[in-house]
Structures are given as C-alpha cells and as structure tokens.
Amino acid sequence: MNSIECELPPQELDPIAQAILDFLCLRDKKNIVKPTEVAKYIAEKQRSRANGPDLWRRYLPAVRNQAKFLARNGRILIIRKGKPADPNTVKGLVYYQLVEPIADD
C-alpha cells in the first residue's frame, strides 16, 4: 500500500467515496487523478452487457460530491491549478490526491 490512508480499514463511507479512496490507493501517492478516471473505474466495476460505453458519466456527479466530502474531512486534496483548493467553493478542472500522512518524528 502507498500510505497510511490506504492501510486504514474502510469506515462507514458511501460506496463512491470508498471507491475514490481505493482508486487513489492503487496509484502512486504523489499522483493526482481526474474525476473522470475515478468515474470510469467505478463504471468498470459495475459494467454489465446492458450498460453502454458511457456508463461512467452517470457516476461523475456522485464522484464530484463525494470527493468534496472526503476533502472536507481531510482524507483527500482537491487540486486546482496545481494548488489545493477549498472543497466548498472549487469549480472547474480539478484533480484528486491522497493527503500525505504527517510523520511522527
């Protein structure tokens, strides 16, 4: 696992919020991801023959909302223009990144 966040047992989180954390844990901890990448990851896990190729678009609003929830609770950062953004006011093109744990030195 990449960080302390990845090693914690899943809490009572919304499945979309948990999927965001899971996807970020699969990536390098310094790596940032787009909301669309997370939505596609969730859609792939839910895909069936009846679903079209744009299933991920149905998950995008929920990904954005749950990412704001996670950011407000200090679990992830929402990055805009290369800097952490306020989850309450952020708009536009954003990325997500796990919060780095504080070292106990």
Q: How confident is the model at residue 3 (pLDDT cuts 50, 70, 90)?
A: very low
Q: Judge: domain 12-98, CATH 3.90.226.10.
A: no
Cα–Cα distance between 35 and 12 in angstroms, integer? 22
* pLDDT tens digits, one per residue of 31-52: 899 999 999 999 998 877 777 8
Task: Kindly report the pTM of this predicted structure.
Answer: 0.82
Q: How far is CA 2 from CA 5, 23, 27, 90, 101, in A?
A: 8, 11, 8, 27, 11
Domain boundaries, given as residue ranges, for the chain: 12-98
